[in-house]
Amino acid sequence: MLTHVLSIVADGVLLGLIYAITGLGLSLVLGVMGIVNVAHSAFVMLGSFLAFELFRRFGVDPVVAFVLALPVFFVLGIVVYRVVITRVQSAAQTQGLVAMFGLMVLIENLGTIAWTTDTRVVTASYTNASLVLGGVVLPHVRLIAGGLALLLIGGVWAFLRFTLTGRAIRAMGQNPEAARIVGVDIARLSAVMFGLGIACAGAAGVALAMVFPFSPNTQVVWLAWAFLVVILGGLGSVASTLAAGIAVGLIQSVCTAVMPFDTVYLVLYVLLAVILTVRREGLSRAVRRTI
């Protein structure tokens, strides 16, 4: 019994770490820049397929793909920022939303053309191996993916906490006008911020690909998970996003243990509605306060 409970908890925490980085990019972009990136999960999907292609063509290990995804998606994020976001930033919010929605549909369908709607998996040499610790079975892939996620979260946290750029980004999140007056280059930092958000999405895609099967047309599911993490943890705060991710992971592993798999999704959506209802003031206040 105890080992059963322990394995549910371990499973939940490891999954939660991956969910945390899935939500992190959405949370940072929303918290600092106020952009709801509805295309977030499309970039997550691209990350999964980056891992898939690197593995299939060159036999590159997903761990390497995870590290590679960060610069690749950072650049991609900056391109998207320069091409799309800068043009809609000063316009009405609906225009930006429509543009991002179009981008999501574009990426999803380009993905479908390139990789069809088949469900794919990434199978590394250690996929079926697991570590047994006092009766608790810990699959290697989950340990590695969770560890990488934790490293990334630590890295982003340290970046925002200790570097000058990170401090400037936090200042920008708290009050863009004041930050601009004291000499923060808002335009450049927004690009960096958006790039960072997309880099997190891509890396999350690689981590998810190690654990779950994936296909281009089911990516919206990850938007639901990422959004749940964001509203549970509040906006723009790395530490609370981590906590929220682990909470979502635990909720999922407990639900999976006691009810049929599909029902887990419904629990998630009910949770989403409940949190949105309860936290409605918390959300808007969180925008101003955090990181």
Single residue of 3, 5, 58, 105 touching another protein by CB under 8 A: 105
Q: How far apart are CA 25 and CA 37, in angstroms?
A: 9
* Nearest approach, Cβ of residue 200 and another protein (Å): 18
Quote the tokens at residue 155.
């890295």
* Choices 62-70, 87-95, 144-152, 200-208 (CB under 8 A): range interacting with another protein: 87-95
* DSSP state, residue 218: G
CA dihedral 265, 49, 43, 244 (to 10 degrees): 40
* Nearest approach, Cβ of residue 37 and another protein (Å): 9
| 120 three-class SS | strand
263 interacts with another protein by CB under 8 A: yes
* Nearest approach, Cβ of residue 131 and another protein (Å): 33
* Nearest approach, Cβ of residue 103 and another protein (Å): 6
Q: How far apart are CA 166 and CA 153, in angstroms?
A: 14
Q: Which is nearer to another protein, 54 or 268 (CB)?
A: 268
Single residue of 9, 64, 271, 283 touching another protein by CB under 8 A: 283
175 interacts with another protein by CB under 8 A: no
| 37 three-class SS | coil
Q: Which of 152, 131, 137 is nearest to 206 (CA)?
A: 152
Within 221-260, the residues that bind another protein by CB under 8 A are 221, 223-224, 227
Q: How many CA atoms lie within 13 A of 137 on its CB side?
A: 5
272 interacts with another protein by CB under 8 A: yes
